[in-house]
Chain A
Amino acid sequence: DTGVSQDPRHKITKRGQNVTFRCDPISEHNRLYWYRQTLGQGPEFLTYFQNEAQLEKSRLLSDRFSAERPKGSFSTLEIQRTEQGDSAMYLCASSLYSGGWAGENIQYFGAGTRLSVL
């Protein structure tokens, strides 16, 4: 399978614990995005990278959230001191950005990591 893969698929944690999710994009894609999806809502943009550079992070939900893409390939999303309100599906997407029109920047999504905070 050469699509976007996310690990783990499910994570159950206790309130106050730290969690980390991994995303492996499509190999030739230079952009990687993180979204959060809560029940009954559409995905909500969090942050994105072009190669290893994080170009937008103002929409990360709080300073407990951080993301990295150290070598411009896989990425991790970390949530520190989890809260029950963090329970959601966390989606990763990747795209091959060539500087053109937005309609050409197609994002391909992974199946997500479902987080449950008890």
Chain B
Amino acid sequence: AQSVTQLDSHVSVSEGTPVLLRCNYSSSYSPSLFWYVQHPNKGLQLLLKYTSAATLVKGINGFEAEFKKSETSFHLTKPSAHMSDAAEYFCVVSELTGNQFYFGTGTSLTVIP
């Protein structure tokens, strides 16, 4: 069975400081992993995806995530937070064919001016 655990429900950072949102996954085979962002009153937007081509994945808006099989982790990072990054972030694992997505409970990111 596939599942993800987002280790922090809320993260607060100052503008210009690094962002770290943590995600651990459980999968019975090599997983497909994604990060989505949800701004208020907007649809979920794909930030990045892990496709096994490279363990360090670059996404939009300066976000990156590193796949670590030994730690079953897929943490999301950004070197410098911007006010517009304030949103809800979801880590997602997909079953093999990509038909069913399993979402984490989300991490709410607050950026302090």
Query: Which A residues are closer than 8 A to B by beta carbons?
Result: 3-4, 31, 33, 35, 40-45, 48, 55-56, 59, 91, 93, 95, 97, 101-112
A106 touches B49 (CB 8 A): yes
- Taken together as a complex, chains A and B put the C-alpha atoms of A106 and B52 apart, in Å, by 15
Query: Which B residues are closer than 8 A to A by beta carbons?
Result: 9, 32, 36, 41-46, 49-52, 90, 92, 94-106
Q: In the complex, how many angstroms separate the beta carbon of A47 from the nearest chain B beta carbon?
A: 10
Could you list 22 A-B pairs, sorted by A, with CB under 8 Å? A31-B99, A40-B9, A42-B104, A43-B90, A45-B100, A45-B102, A48-B100, A56-B99, A91-B44, A101-B51, A102-B32, A102-B94, A102-B95, A102-B96, A103-B51, A104-B51, A104-B98, A109-B36, A109-B44, A111-B41, A111-B42, A112-B43
Q: Which residue of B lies closest to A107 (CB)?
A: B101
Kindly identify which residue among A44, A59, A105, A112 contacts B97, using a CB–CB cutoff of 8 Å: A105
B46 touches A106 (CB 8 A): yes
- Taken together as a complex, chains A and B put the C-alpha atoms of A74 and B92 apart, in Å, by 25
